Structure 1
Amino acid sequence: MYKSGNSVMSYLNPDKSISNPRNAKKIFKQIWKWTKILMFLFIIISMLWGCVQMYQSDYMVNQVIDATGNKVYSPGVSFEIVIKSLGDVGEKNHMITSENGIFSEYAYFSITNWGEAWTKTSSPFYGFFVYPMAFVLSGFIKLFSGTLNPELTTHAQYIYGIATFFGIFFTVIIVRTITLGFSWKSQKNQSKMQQMQLKQSDIQAKYKDKKDPASKQKQQQEIMALHKKEGISPMSSFAGSFASMPFLFAIYSVIRSTSALKIASVGEISLIEQPWQQITSGNYVYLALLAAYLPLQILSMLLPTILQYIKQKSVTLTEAQRKARKKQLIMQLVMMVVFIFVVTTVASGVCIYWIVSSTYQICQTLGFHFYNQKHIKTGNRERERRLRQQEKFIR
């Protein structure tokens, strides 16, 4: 007999089926899934839009020739973000340029509030990422130094430089904490994902020489079944890796365009200048940036692989798994070379941002590693306890 709550008519009644908690949960999951997809697409599109926009003439900080004949970035020339709500006044420099014998003044394009970040740029990149980051960073600088318009004395410039460094430090903490929220699951399951990639390489090797549609479909089904078994979404790692990209491009624009940062120097290092350009000009103090950045960046990128090697030291890998691991290592090395090249050509302030960010990444990787190891040990102890109880029950 059917229960009164599960009659045939109740299944045929659409109103009651909608009120089913399981159906409501499925609908919510679908809504949340598409919301995340749309958010991800918006972030990617706005980031690409902003990257192209940063290299348009109206949004660039121009290089000028100083009194010694060297090319330098001049505050108050072309694009500039001036946070007036925090007391920043900015300063336009009347720099003259000559082209084909015609003299003209460098352009000046300023944004003074969040509304102008939208209306003057017509860009979600500057509205959602660049101006808010500039505001937060400038706010920290004012908190620590008391002003965004420091005097020209050596002591005032020194205090302002230290405040700028700590402003960058705390901005990194905020940004990385936000991005960690998007990549929490992938970071938490990082070791499991690395294991899954090795298992996936075995499946791919199994169908390596089979090119027919049926084999390709079966390979895809086995890979999807592996993801489902491990409880890991293939999009989670992809989305997690891209979560920090808009902030990375935004800080590049913030450092070179925000008035409060364009005038800042940490010691003898000007935040707006490019390290390699300064090194080749004889300012070897900028080597300190590379000396700090390179080992931290290399360690932050290789640490997950190193920890995986240690964990799987006693495990015998298949030929496909060894090839997959080697390929993964080569990709990491290529990425490191790219990052090393990029960091020498961006503003020194961005380099400082990456130094702090790499340190954060190292701590985050180690934190999740020890958390997972503790979780595994706890699970093993629990299984051993249950086995002992079963043995006692059998006896």
Structure 2
Amino acid sequence: MIGLLVVLSGCSGDVTAPIKSGDIGFFERILVLPVAWVMQFFSGLFNNSFAIGIIITTIIVRTIAWPIYAKSNDLSIKMAVAQPEMNRIQAKYATRKDPESQQKMQMELMAVYKKYGINFFGCLMPFLQMPIFLAMYQVVQRIWIEGGMYADKVQNMKFLGIDLAKSGNFGLILGQDGDIAGWILAIIVAGTMFFLNHLAQKKPSYAKNTAAHGPQSAQAEQSAKMMKYMQYFMVIMMFSISLGSNSLALYWVVGNLYSIGQNMINRVINERKYYAMKNKDLVG
């Protein structure tokens, strides 16, 4: 999900143009301008600090998107509760490959989905967050550009000795001018992203007991391996992009830390929900 967001961020339009109100597109009017207004508002409260604006706005945007995140988590809990029944149905028809038996299996699985209120539309819920995050990406990159409507509200670009107008870039390796602070930020981005990926892939205790039994197929093993390589690639990609913008790196650090905390909190909530649903199912 985050990897797709990074890729789409590069396709989200011109990030070198200042933010203006005039003749703008629908996406910019309904999302970019409101996010920019929130950022400049909080920056203005703290001596026009761009960094404070980024931090507070990131927290607000991620919190607004939390219900969408929670909704997709509800689907995974329901799937975990329903998994034993689904496993039994699949085992029942494992050796019966004729069309009639396969149709019966699908009907029985559909009955299980209905019983537990499983709606696979929930799989699409995370994508609803993407326009909000893309707007945030645009604002971080453009709000401070000279000539923009809020540029004067975020003119304090220093934060803990870091100049957010600069970038780490690869010049430092070549012995040219480079911002060491930018490299440190980029390394933190990569580190937090790596930890977040590890946390996201780690199954909660209740899910370990509900996984399908039996050895993994060669295709499943290959998919798992590809997923791991993709995660490493995304960490490297985010590190490289972060070197091009200290402000973007700060945004990603804050976003990653928020997501780590969000993941940990949701694990506790999900475990309680799982056992509540499990007990209800046993009583029923």
- Aligned residue number for residue 269 of structure 2: 371
Q: Name the SS for the 1:250 alignment partner.
A: helix
- Aligned residue number for residue 265 of structure 1: 158
Query: Aligned partners of 1:218 and 1:348: how far apart in 2?
Result: 57
Identity %: 23
- Aligned residue number for residue 58 of structure 2: 172
- On the 8 A contact 1:183/1:243 being kept in 2, the answer is no
Answer 1 or 2: which has greater strand percent: 1
Matches within 5 A, 1:231-246: 231-239=117-125, 241-246=126-131
The change in CA–CA distance for 1:275 and 1:342 in structure 2 (over 3 A counts) is same
| TM-score, normalisation: structure 1 | 0.53
- Aligned residue number for residue 80 of structure 1: 18
| TM-score, normalisation: structure 2 | 0.71
Q: Give 1:354's match in structure 2, choosing from 248, 252, 260.
A: 252
AA aligned opposite 1:300: L
1:330-364 CA-partner distances (Å, limit 9, x unpaired): 42540442243144225222221121111111222
Query: Aligned partners of 1:235 and 1:320: how far apart in 2?
Result: 27
The change in CA–CA distance for 1:235 and 1:341 in structure 2 (over 3 A counts) is same
Matches within 5 A, 1:1-395: 54=13, 59-61=14-16, 79-81=17-19, 111=20, 113=21, 116=22, 120-121=23-24, 123-145=25-47, 147=48, 160=49, 164-193=50-79, 224-239=110-125, 241-259=126-144, 260=151, 261=154, 264-277=157-170, 279-280=172-173, 281=176, 282-308=178-204, 312=208, 317-320=213-216, 324=220, 327-328=223-224, 330-346=226-242, 347-376=245-274
Q: Name the SS for the 1:178 alignment partner.
A: helix
Query: Aligned partners of 1:300 and 1:51: how far apart in 2?
Result: 22
AA aligned opposite 2:35: M
Offset of residue 187 of structure 1: 2.2
CA RMSD of aligned residues (A): 4.2
How many residues end up aligned between the 2 structures? 261
Query: Aligned partners of 1:318 and 1:257: how far apart in 2?
Result: 52
Query: Aligned partners of 1:208 and 1:133: how far apart in 2?
Result: 56
Query: Aligned partners of 1:165 and 1:137: how far apart in 2?
Result: 10
AA aligned opposite 1:269: I
